[in-house]
Amino acid sequence: MNNFFFTVLLMLAAYLLGSIPFGLIAGLKIKGIDIRDYGSKNIGATNVSRVLGKKWGIAVLLLDALKGYGACFLPAFWGQDLAVPFQLFLGVSAILGHSFPVWLKFKGGKGVATSLGVFLAIAWLPTLITFGIWIICFTLTHIISISSLLAAVVFPLMIFWRYAGTSDLKFLLPISLVLALFIFYTHRANLQRIRQGTEKKLF
Of 81 and 198, the structure prediction assigns the larger pLDDT to: 198
Taking the C-alpha atoms of residue 17 and residue 121, their distance in angstroms, rounded to an integer, is: 15
Does residue 203 surpass a pLDDT of 90?
no
* Residue-averaged pLDDT of the chain: 94
Does residue 180 surpass a pLDDT of 60?
yes
On whether the pTM is more than 0.85, the answer is: yes
Taking the C-alpha atoms of residue 133 and residue 179, their distance in angstroms, rounded to an integer, is: 17
Burial (CB count within 10 angstroms: exposed 0-12, middle 13-18, buried 19+), residue 197: exposed
Burial (CB count within 10 angstroms: exposed 0-12, middle 13-18, buried 19+), residue 112: buried
**Which pLDDT score is estimated for 1?**
53
**How does pLDDT run across 68-122, given as a tens digit for each residue?**
999 999 988 877 778 888 999 999 999 999 999 999 999 999 999 999 999 999 9
**How does pLDDT run across 25-60, given as a tens digit for each residue?**
999 999 999 999 998 899 999 999 999 999 999 999
- For 48-64, the DSSP string reads HHHHH-HHHHHHHHHHH
Taking the C-alpha atoms of residue 121 and residue 194, their distance in angstroms, rounded to an integer, is: 31
**Which pLDDT score is estimated for 132?**
97
Listed in sequence order, the residues at least 6 apart from 169 whose beta carbon sits closer than 8 Å to its beta carbon are: 159, 160, 163
Closest CA to 40 of 184, 149, 183, 189: 189
At 19, the pLDDT band (50, 70, 90 cuts) reads very high
Taking the C-alpha atoms of residue 119 and residue 140, their distance in angstroms, rounded to an integer, is: 25
At 3, the pLDDT band (50, 70, 90 cuts) reads confident
